[in-house]
Amino acid sequence: DTAVSQTPKYLVTQMGNDKSIKCEQNLGHDTMYWYKQDSKKFLKIMFSYNNKELIINETVPNRFSPKSPDKAHLNLHINSLELGDSAVYFCASSQEIAGGLNEQFFGPGTRLTVL
């Protein structure tokens, strides 16, 4: 029983294409995230959803659009892919606690390669 799952694990595509990455968590958490990890391992938060509502939208191009159909799912759609979008994308979830957030559970990551 995977706590946080992402599909696909690998995604290779051409510049200009549109692609989606799916994420599901079965932990009953309220909050889900998308992170981008570049080749230098820098982990940058992109979006955060709490109970299907967008909470954080960091400086991310409009080509990236998150969609949360329900509390357990947070999908990431990317339009007009560019070379610079190549990275590992991690989905995560956590439960809100008093004054902050609990530890995050991460999915296995999706390695996106744009050619």
Partner 1 sequence: AQKVTQAQTEISVVEKEDVTLDCVYETRDTTYYLFWYKQPPSGELVFLIRRNSFDEQNEISGRYSWNFQKSTSSFNFTITASQVVDSAVYFCALSGAYIPTFGRGTSLIVHP
Binding stretches for partner 1 (CB under 8 A): 33, 40-45, 48, 50, 55-56, 88, 90, 92, 94, 97-106, 108-109
**Within a 13 Å sphere around the CA of 79, how many CA atoms are in the beta-carbon half?**
7
User: How near is the Cβ of 76 to partner 1 at its closest, in Å?
Assistant: 17
Report CA-CA distances (Å) from 57 to 44, 45, 71, 106: 11, 9, 17, 19
CA gap 20, 74 in Å, rounded: 11
Q: How far is the CB of 35 from partner 1 (least distance, A)?
A: 8
Omega of the bond leading into 8 within 30 degrees of 0 (cis) = yes
Complex with partner 1: residue 14 or 49, whichever CB lies closer: 49
> Which DSSP category does 3 fall into?
S
Of 65 and 109, CB closest to partner 1? 109
User: What is the smallest separation between the CB atom of 18 and partner 1, expressed in angstroms?
Assistant: 25
Q: Which of 72/88 has CB closer to partner 1?
A: 88
Judged by CB, which is closer to partner 1: 15, or 43? 43
